[in-house]
């Protein structure tokens, strides 16, 4: 039960950082270009 209380807190922290931290917005777009080449990821699997 102790972990359950900590899990929701972590999600809340992540949401706050994503909403308040503009720096995270930078890495997100950077990951978008490598996302289209999903064929390569399927090959790795």
pLDDT digits (tens, 9 = 90+) for 21-38: 555 455 555 555 555 555
Tokens of 43: 């090959």
Could you tell me the pTM of the whole model? Answer: 0.20
Torsion of CA 32, 9, 12, 28, to 10 degrees: -10
Report the C-alpha gap between 11 and 34 in whole angstroms: 25
SS3 of the chain: helix, strand, coil, percent, to 5: 70, 0, 30
Report the C-alpha gap between 28 and 24 in whole angstroms: 7
pLDDT above 70 as % of the chain: 0
pLDDT above 90 as % of the chain: 0
């Amino acid at each position: 039960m102790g972990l359950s209380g900590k899990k929701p807190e972590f999600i809340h922290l992540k949401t706050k950082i994503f909403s308040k931290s503009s720096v995270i917005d930078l890495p997100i777009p950077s990951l978008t270009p490598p996302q289209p080449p999903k064929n390569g990821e399927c090959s790795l699997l």
